[in-house]
Amino acid sequence: GAVVSQHPSWVICKSGTSVKIECRSLDFQATTMFWYRQFPKQSLMLMATSNEGSKATYEQGVEKDKFLINHASLTLSTLTVTSAHPEDSSFYICSSRVRSTYEQYFGPGTRLTVT
């Protein structure tokens, strides 16, 4: 199956700083990437849908100025958590949809802890 990587796998940052998470599709071109957030023992909540070369579509309640998404190429999307606060601590997972299929392939996730 398709491979999606994320970097870093975990990060600890201080409140008020910004953190960038990278999501790469390693062996296919991902025209669409999705960013999810998952709190402990809860479901995956879609944050935004990112299409290559265009602005991301954010879900209701997700602040686009706080969670900056850039999908500059067919293999890379980045999520930047700006001015992070402890309540932003979560598991962030990206996924890519292979063109013309119904499958989404998930990255291994990034665990963010804001102190």
| Interacting residue ranges for other proteins, rule: CB under 8 A | 1, 32, 34, 42-46, 49, 51, 54, 57, 93, 97, 102-109
Q: Indicate the residue among 44 and 76 with the shorter CB distance to other proteins.
A: 44
Q: Indicate the residue among 1 and 14 with the shorter CB distance to other proteins.
A: 1
Q: Indicate the residue among 55 and 85 with the shorter CB distance to other proteins.
A: 55
Helix (H, G, I), strand (E, B) or coil at 19: strand
Examine residue 8 and say whether the peptide bond preceding it is cis (omega within 30 degrees of 0): yes
DSSP label at 88? G
Asked whether 33 and 96 are in contact (CB, 8 A), the reply is yes
Q: What angle do CA 110, 18, 41 make, to 5 degrees?
A: 35
Residue 105 CB, shortest distance to other proteins, in Å, is 7
Residue 54 CB, shortest distance to other proteins, in Å, is 8
Residue 1 CB, shortest distance to other proteins, in Å, is 8
Asked whether 60 and 48 are in contact (CB, 8 A), the reply is no
